């Protein structure tokens, strides 16, 4: 199969740049927006995040099956990059809009807009994440696509992390409600353009396997597959605990450090670290199996982020250095995880003879969103338990809880990843054997249907 060009890989990465314009705004600022701008309690927000992820537990595999059965002149997964961005942009703006409502109606508004936002995110993110398995059959190229994806994704995150607070001030001044709404309008417009650029360039080139359409069979082969389950199990702690420093970053710098403006530098250093890690991964994947890279990166992350617990909040330089190197390791691990997604889809096909890319891909996307929701639920419950009250001086217990969410719990999550990744069945030798077997099987499938 013809190799992908540099521009093919960059164009694919535009899709995750688009995704992260929304995802980073949600992951970094939405909890703070709900509690300190919109006026909802931390406990309610935590419940909202968790309930939404439970819905994702259903919607992710459903979207995967829809994608597997899509037939269009644009392919199986590309059409969603064209049609979904506009409604996604509209709902993203509404999510960061604060209508004048009663307390109970504020909660209803938040639930309705956030659940719809994540449903639309599923409708575009599952097809987008499924594309590498249809663009190339090379594990190395898929690893490089994941690296390009992460570099562009983290660039989108950098745009949001560095620009959101200044834009909120620029658009709203003292009116944070207006500032967040107008900022999301600008970010949503960027998102739409990036998705459309991705759609215009990427192509689905791996031959489709001729097979009967059976939801029951698709589910059966996927849930019996070891690689699929381990991909989920790796993703859950990666996104549950790994996202906590971003979820509580605004709280940490507002109340522990006492300088909310320092949060922008923190988020920028973190994102730069992730970009560097993704670039490094594009070279490492040529020499090492993704499983080994995930284990090494997670072990390093455990050491870096865990040490933050003992750093004086006044020592901003040390905080910035730790988060940069921690996120560098996260950049390697996250890039590898998304590269693993396509390998897992191939592993399912290799073991079962059925090609179920969309449903296989839902393993990582589900763990991504479930982990994000679980993270929000844990943070919301923890802050509430520690006595957090928005807009006032925090107790020592609340400040300590914030610090734990910044350091010890992410370190625990990284340790879990090391153990889980050890059991992932696709190493370097299996990759070669699997791809040789799949090429033969796909050729035989195509020849059989020609005959």
Return the pLDDT at 212.
61
Domain boundaries, the chain: 7-201+213-444
The average pLDDT across 289-304 equals 94
Q: What is the pLDDT of residue 300?
A: 96
Note the pLDDT of residue 448. Answer: 60
Residues 416, 266, 276, 335: is their CA dihedral positive or negative?
A: positive
User: CATH number of the domain at 7-201+213-444, out of 3.30.1360.120, 1.20.1250.20, 2.10.60.10, 3.40.50.1370?
Assistant: 1.20.1250.20
Q: Is residue 308's pLDDT more than 90?
A: yes
- Are the C-beta atoms of 366 and 178 separated by less than 8 Å? no
Q: Read off the pLDDT of each residue in 184-209 and give the average, rounded to a whole number.
A: 88
pLDDT at 449 over 70: no
What is the rounded average pLDDT for all residues in the chain?
Answer: 86
Higher model confidence: residue 207 or residue 151? Answer: 151
- Tell me the pLDDT band of 257, cut-offs 50, 70 and 90: very high
Enter the pTM of the model.
0.73
**Three-state secondary-structure class, residue 1:** coil
pLDDT digits (tens, 9 = 90+) for 318-332: 999 999 999 999 989
Q: Among the listed ranges 143-147, 197-201, 328-332, which one has the minimum average pLDDT value?
A: 143-147
Model confidence at 1, pLDDT cuts 50, 70, 90, reads low
Name the band, by pLDDT with cuts 50, 70 and 90, for residue 9.
confident
By C-alpha distance, which of 41, 19, 30 is closest to 246? Answer: 30
DSSP label at 96? T
pLDDT classification of 46: cutoffs 50, 70, 90? confident
Residue positions counted in the chain:
451
Q: Given this model, what pLDDT does residue 450 score?
A: 54
Task: Produce one character per residue of 397-410: b if its CB has 16 or more CB atoms within 10 Å, e if not.
Answer: ebbebbbbbbbbbb
């Amino acid at each position: 199969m013809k190799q992908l060009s540099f521009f093919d890989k960059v164009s694919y990465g535009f899709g995750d740049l688009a995704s992260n314009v929304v995802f980073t705004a949600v992951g970094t600022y939405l909890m703070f927006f709900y509690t300190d701008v919109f006026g909802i309690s931390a406990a309610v927000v935590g419940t909202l995040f968790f309930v939404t992820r439970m819905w994702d537990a259903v919607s992710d595999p459903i979207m995967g099956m829809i994608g597997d059965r899509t037939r269009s002149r644009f392919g199986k997964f590309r059409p969603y990059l064209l049609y979904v961005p506009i409604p996604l942009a509209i709902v993203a703006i509404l999510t960061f809009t604060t209508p004048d409502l009663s307390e109970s109606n504020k909660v209803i508004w938040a639930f309705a807009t956030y659940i719809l936002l994540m449903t639309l995110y599923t409708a575009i993110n599952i097809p987008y994440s499924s594309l590498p398995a249809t663009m190339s059959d090379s594990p190395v190229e898929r690893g490089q696509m994941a690296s390009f994806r992460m570099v562009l994704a983290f660039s989108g995150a950098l745009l949001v992390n560095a620009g959101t607070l200044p834009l909120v001030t620029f658009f709203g001044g003292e009116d944070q409600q207006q500032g967040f709404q107008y900022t999301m309008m600008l970010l949503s417009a960027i998102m739409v353009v990036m998705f459309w650029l991705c759609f215009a360039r990427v192509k689905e080139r791996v031959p489709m396997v001729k097979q009967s359409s059976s939801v029951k069979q698709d589910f059966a082969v996927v849930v019996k597959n070891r690689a699929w389950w381990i991909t989920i199990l790796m993703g859950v702690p990666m996104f549950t605990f790994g996202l906590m420093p971003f979820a509580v970053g605004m709280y940490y710098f507002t109340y522990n450090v006492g300088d909310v403006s320092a949060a922008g530098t923190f988020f920028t250093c973190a994102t730069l670290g992730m970009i560097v890690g993704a670039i490094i991964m594009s070279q490492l994947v040529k020499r090492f199996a993704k499983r080994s890279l995930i284990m090494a990166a997670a072990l390093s992350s455990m050491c870096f982020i865990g040490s933050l617990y003992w750093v004086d909040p006044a020592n901003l330089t040390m905080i910035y250095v730790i988060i940069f190197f921690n996120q560098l390791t996260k950049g390697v691990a996250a890039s590898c995880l998304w590269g693993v997604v396509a390998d897992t889809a191939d592993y399912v096909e290799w073991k079962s003879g059925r090609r179920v890319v969309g449903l296989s891909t839902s393993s990582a996307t589900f763990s991504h969103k479930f982990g994000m929701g679980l993270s929000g639920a844990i943070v919301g419950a923890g802050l509430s338990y520690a006595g957090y009250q928005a807009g006032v001086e925090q107790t020592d217990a609340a400040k300590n809880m914030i610090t734990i969410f910044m350091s010890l719990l992410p370190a625990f999550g990284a340790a879990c990843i090391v153990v889980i990744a050890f059991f992932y069945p696709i190493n370097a030798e299996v990759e070669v054997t699997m791809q040789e077997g799949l090429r033969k099987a796909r050729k035989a499938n195509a020849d059989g249907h020609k005959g």
